[in-house]
């Protein structure tokens, strides 16, 4: 079974946009993160539903008004692993 990702606690985040970057404050951890537009698009998609890497690659072009994904599969996997380490998202394995 393919690993699924989601952002179950998106509402605990406080966001501020500044130019092309976002400051995300995580009220639960007290951490503040500086994220780019791609990172925010990924988190936004994962707050709506659980998605696999392939599902995200399919949905990301819509978020950017593009024809193809703005990121390659291995890069996206790296983003997801980093977000999970930061406590921003969880995977199907960490939910079990």
DSSP-derived pairing of the beta strands 5-6 and 90-91: antiparallel
User: What is the rounded distance in angstroms from the CA atom of residue 20 to the CA atom of residue 87?
Assistant: 23
pLDDT value for 64: 80
User: What is the rounded distance in angstroms from the CA atom of residue 63 to the CA atom of residue 84?
Assistant: 21
Could you tell me the domains of the chain?
5-95 (3.90.930.60)
pLDDT one digit per residue (tens) for the chain, 96 residues: 689 999 988 899 999 999 989 999 999 999 999 999 999 999 999 999 999 999 999 999 988 888 888 889 999 999 999 999 999 999 986 444
pLDDT value for 9: 86
Are 36 and 78 in contact by the 8 Å Cβ rule? The answer is no
Q: Which string of DSSP letters, residue by residue, matches 13-33?
A: EEEEEETTEEEEEETTTTEEE
**Residue carrying the six token digits 């939910």:** 95
């Amino acid at each position: 079974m393919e690993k699924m990702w989601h952002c179950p606690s998106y509402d605990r985040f406080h966001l501020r946009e500044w130019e092309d970057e976002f400051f995300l404050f995580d009220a639960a951890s007290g951490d503040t993160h500086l994220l780019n537009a791609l990172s925010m698009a990924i988190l936004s998609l994962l707050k709506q539903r659980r998605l696999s890497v392939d599902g995200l690659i399919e949905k990301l072009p819509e978020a950017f008004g593009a024809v193809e994904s703005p990121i390659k599969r291995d890069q996206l996997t790296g983003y997801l692993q980093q977000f999970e380490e930061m406590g921003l998202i969880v995977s199907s394995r960490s939910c079990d």
